Amino acid sequence: MTDESPTQKIRTGPRPLPLHVANATSSWMSAAASLPLFLMGGLHCHPAREQAARLLRDELQKENMILLQQTVMMQAQERLIQMMQGIEAYQSHPYCRQVTQPPVALESGTTRLLDYGSEQTADGPVVIAVPSLINPSWILDLMEEHSLMRTLAAEGLRSYLVDWDAPGPLEKHFGLDDYIANRLVPMIREIARRHDRPVHLLGYCMGGNLSIAAAHILQGEGVLDSLTLIATPWDFHAERNVQLEGFLDIMEKSQNLFKDIGFVPMDIMQLFFFSLDPTLSDRKFRRFATLDPNDPKTEIFVAIEDWANEGAPLALNLAFDCLNRWYRDNLTHKGEWMVEGRAILPEEITLPCHVITPARDRIVPPASAKDILKHLPAATHTSAASGHVNMIAGYGADKILWPKIAKYIKYNYNK
């Protein structure tokens, strides 16, 4: 079965658009005004940039100040215009996602387990991929010809993808414990039973945290064969930024407001992602403005951006579990994260583990992802030379990372 014929997608992203535009406008239009302050050494610089800033300041002192300020203003205007051109190019791009829909193997409430298997994968290793609960699951099935799930199936792996979907009447009250103990764990047990062999669990981003908890709960049942963690945060205070602190403070003060609404809207979670890297939209859309619209890289960018701007509201308990138990209190790193009364301690997991960390990432800083290696000292470690989303779905992922994921799972299946 395939989706209906694609139609021109009406895009209003990046979400929330006014925030991204206002932030870039403020940043670039303040450039010329802040130049005198920079030249007097009055601007705060990142410690890693202090020496470069000092050398630049010495060099600029030799220039004509009026001409320099005019040049900075013109360059700032050009960059702002380029960003707006990139956003317009994205919004008007003709790409529309159309993929063959996999059958549903299991369903519980609004949570589904999608089956990418075939007769060719009947005897292969069984894999359950667990995405984040925040964005749509189809980042792991981005395009018909550019899909981690379909690639794993083509490699002979019997592949399943957890699709959390939007919270329904029951999930409206779910927190982390519910999604792990009442959805993920039973699905793993059932799939292992159906195939009469253990499952290889693959978790991406926050899905890695859920997978660690499930692996710890299922330890000793013989239903898991290996654990793969991709860009999974464990030390939530590693490389922490000031903007995130401010967002957490605002969310804590607004908790009663969200209780009245009954959920956390996706645009609020977009503010969370914005707080992790406030200049990301400016950088990526200025770059996008220079791309050939017919280049395969361009289409993949549009597909990823469409995914990033979709997403259902989050169940209230789930949102505050993530923000409070993880980002505020860092319970994972402290060994104090409890799921249904059980402390989740990865050092007690004896499964073969493959930990894949990003080389550069603002959503899950490398230090945060690498922290799990301290608790899984025997794990195989792979460093992916790209960012949080591009490492798993970007252009080149099918050549660089996906084969390594399949190879590791096959190796542990054949042992």
pLDDT of residue 310: 92
Q: What is the pLDDT of residues 337-368, one digit of tens each?
A: 999 999 999 999 999 999 999 998 989 999 99
What is the pLDDT, as a whole number, of residue 9? 67
Residue 8 has what pLDDT? 59
Query: Which DSSP helix (H) or strand (E) runs through 264?
Result: strand 263-264
- 263 membership: H or E segment, kind and range: strand 263-264
The pLDDT of residue 4: 42
Task: Quote the pLDDT of residue 347.
Answer: 96
Q: Report residues of the chain scoring pLDDT below 70.
A: 1-9, 414-415
Q: Residue 7's pLDDT is what?
A: 54
Supply the pLDDT for residue 49: 85
Residue 1 pLDDT: 43
Which residue type does 56 have? Answer: L
pLDDT, position 415: 63
- 339 near 42, Cβ under 8 Å? no
DSSP assignment letter at 279: T
Could you tell me the pTM of the whole model? Answer: 0.92
Question: Any idea which residue has 């009663």 for tokens?
Answer: 256
DSSP string, 41-105: T-S---GGGHHHHHHHHHHHTTS-HHHHHHHHHHHHHHHHHHHHHHHHHHHT-------BPPPEE
What's the CA gap between 376 and 380, in Å, rounded? 9
Taking only the tens place, the pLDDT of each residue in 192-202 is: 999 999 999 99
DSSP string, 183-242: IIHHHHHHHHHHHTSPEEEEEETHHHHHHHHHHHHHTTSS-EEEEEEES----TTTT--H
Q: Could you check whether the bond before residue 293 is cis, i.e. omega within 30 degrees of 0?
A: no
Q: Give the total residue count for the chain.
A: 415
- Hey, what domains does the chain have and what are their CATH numbers? 1-92+286-310 (no CATH), 104-238+313-414 (3.40.50.1820)
Phi then psi for 195, rounded to 5 degrees?
Answer: -95, -5
pLDDT at 31: 86
